[in-house]
Structure 1
Amino acid sequence: MKSPKVTVVITTYNRPGLLERAIRSVLNQTYENFECVVVDDCSSTHKPQEITQKFTDNRVTYTRHEQNMGLSAARNTGIEHSDGEYVAFLDDDDVWKEKKLEKQIDLFERLEDKYAIVYCWMNYRRHTDEKIINEYCPSHDGNIFSKALEGQPIGSGSTLLVRRSIAKNTKFDVDIDRGIDGDFIRRVCQEYYVDYVPEILVEYYVEHGKDRITSQDESGIRDAISGHKIKFDKFSTELNAHPQCASRILAKIAYHYAQLGEWRMSVKYYQKALSTSPTTVTVYRSILSSIKAGIDHYGHR
């Protein structure tokens, strides 16, 4: 029986030096029935195209946005260009280990149709010295929607293998800047199950001096607030059925406002969190953390 085809979508923007490494990690896969679609989100130079064309393997193709549209739009373009039975995503600064696709396909082909995603574990690896600074090894499988409601329980987009038909129907939300992977997984998991390969098969690089979304600056914090608020727009019915989860999300919003020094908004959302579920212990811990942050802030003025 012929092995199913996988479409690998590599999204890139102004990181040509990292792109070559990502493509090479795809071409080094032991699983061979794939196409690799490089989507350039309107980089300021044509170096990504030049790098892609260095590879003579006809499984590698290149497409370019005429304007910068963001990660979600770039992944959606890759999905639209795909014709594999499965779709996998790889950010240009991440790297796959050689058996990543092989092991995920082997598992996927043994699963029922209600399974939409197979993920794997990953290393957080520092770019500057290749040091592993953390291993991320979640073990969530089956129906994980209640876990996905609150956050991102299963890792980055680079760990995912998804049934193409489901990825095409779901797509990534182009209206959000933060929590893109979590939002996609959350919407898929409303109807489908997930499983995982219990092995580190992705190197997720950090601290390379390039853009990674971070919660440490004001823009990142405001994106985080927006991402949490969107959950109440998209999943209001589900959150009403999970008040403790809703309370924890409201507390996260409150804490982020405290990080910004916007105490009135922080208090407002803590009040909402407590009225939603007065017995959720993590809300009280978050309040204490916010108070400490405020004391430290004003103590150093």
Structure 2
Amino acid sequence: MSIDALIPSPAAAGTSTGHPSVSVLIATAGRPRMLRDAVRSIVEQDYPGPLEVVVVFDRIDVDPLEDVAVPAGVELRTVPNTRSPGLAGARNTGLHAAAGQIIAFCDDDDVWAPGKLVRQMGLWAEHPGASAIAGGIRIVSHARTTERHPQPVATFEELLVDRMVEIHPSALICRRADLFGPVGLVDEELPSSYGEDYDLLLRLARHAPVHSVPETVLTVRWDRPSFFREKWGDIAEALTYLLRKYPEFETTAKGTAEIAGQVAFAHAARGDRREALRWSRAALRRDPGQLRAWGALAVTTGLVSAERLQNAVANLGRGL
């Protein structure tokens, strides 16, 4: 099956090339050097179809990025966030501005590997029923570089059990028609936009399985401060929101325990001992081996600081 068979509708721009048009959305809030690295890694892709990059500036002045060289056949646009402040609103601003049939995301501190789009679109031609295509990632932390590769196919039920952080939003491509149709846009009701990538991934996988190429298609930078670092109250609120939003979590004790363990750790890190203990107990009742819950207890009892534990896990290419 040819690549253009993925999306038979001729309505979107660029169909005369025989390849679906692709829009890559980047939301940014103040990492100018890293942003330029991200943009360059995208505009230099060897994808033969129409390609545009839409950079959305959230709560900061728009930078026209005039110093970034853009090859012929590629369009670079910079726009302000006109929706709710934060990552979810910025991504939806980009979605409304995008013209491509295929939507891809990239965080402003990540870098695409050469050939990413061609490899992913080739796999989608082989599996046109997929809701999205991801790929392997390289995580760069302060201590080491770690390779993480998703399983070839991930279903909604599997993603309820395991977040599968190796399916990274900056590696994901999906159909614009699905986002404006059965899947829906990025959820702007999520507190502080935390976990919006997992929420969207769950909805994509509920629509149809997510496939992944075996190659590494993305470099993820964990050697810089996160916007969510130490925003523990926001994290706890957002994860609790996700548990309410997806009652299907109750079908898997392990999946519920994983989220509950994250909530427990967030409460422990912010010093709320009562809530940390309550959520830890809830997690461990469902899964006695839930490590995040045990980590929350260790922080609550003073055995280790949240920052030290978080750094140790990040250096292994994982997150809490």
Q: Aligning the two structures, in what range does the TM-score lie when normalised by the shorter sequence?
A: 0.7 to 0.9
Quote the residue 1:117 is aligned against: 132
Query: Is 1:229 equivalent to 2:240 in the alignment?
Result: yes
Identity %: 22
User: In the alignment, which of 14, 25, 29 is matched to residue 41 of structure 2?
Assistant: 25
CA–CA separation in structure 2 for the residues paired with 1:151 and 1:59: 34
In the alignment, the residues of structure 2 paired with residue 68 and residue 17 of structure 1 have an alpha-carbon distance, to the nearest angstrom, of: 25
Relative distance call for 1:11 and 1:271 in structure 2 (3 A) is closer
- The secondary structure found in structure 2 opposite 1:36 is strand
Q: Distance in 2 between matches of 1:56 and 1:230?
A: 43
Please state how far the C-alpha of 1:225 moved relative to its aligned partner.
Answer: 1.2
1:140-289 mapped onto 2 (5 Å cutoff): 140-148=152-160, 150-169=162-181, 170-176=184-190, 177-208=193-224, 211-214=226-229, 217=230, 219=231, 221-236=232-247, 238-273=248-283, 277=286, 280-283=287-290, 288-289=294-295
Matched position secondary structure for 2:51: strand
- 1:82 pairs, out of 98, 111, 114, with 98
Change (3 A) 1:204 1:42: same
Change over 3 Å in CA distance of 1:70–1:243 after alignment to 2: same
Is the 2:160–2:255 contact (alpha carbons within 8 Å) kept by the matching residues of 1? no
Query: What CA RMSD, in Å, does the superposition of the two structures yield over aligned residues?
Result: 2.8
**Please, which of 124, 142, 150 is the counterpart of residue 108 of structure 1?**
124
Q: Which letter maps to 1:35?
A: L
The unaligned stretches of length 5 or more in structure 2 are: 3-17, 306-320
Question: CA–CA distance in 2 between the matches of 1:180 and 1:52?
Answer: 31
Give the unaligned 5+ runs of structure 1: none
Query: Cα deviation per residue 1:257-289 (whole Å; 9 max; x = unaligned)?
Result: 2333322222322343455x3xx2224x55544
Question: How far did 1:53 drift?
Answer: 7.4
Contact 2:264 2:278 in 1 (8 A): yes
Task: State the TM-score, normalized to the length of structure 2.
Answer: 0.77
Q: 1:33 to 1:297 in 2, by over 3 A?
A: closer
Shift of 1:81: 2.0
Counterpart-to-counterpart distance in 2, 1:5 and 1:268: 49
Q: Which one-letter code corresponds to 2:19 in the other structure?
A: S
Q: Runs of 4+ in structure 1 displaced over 6 angstroms?
A: none
- 2:20 aligns with 4
Determine if the alignment matches structure 1 residue 292 to structure 2 residue 298. Answer: yes
Q: 1:42 to 1:93 in 2, by over 3 A?
A: same
Q: Give the drift of 1:229.
A: 0.6
Report the 3-state secondary structure (helix = DSSP H, G, I; strand = E; otherwise coil) of the residue aligned with 1:189. helix
**SS of the residue aligned with 1:190?**
helix
Q: TM-score, normalised by structure 1?
A: 0.82
Contact 1:41-1:70 at 8 Å conserved across structures: no
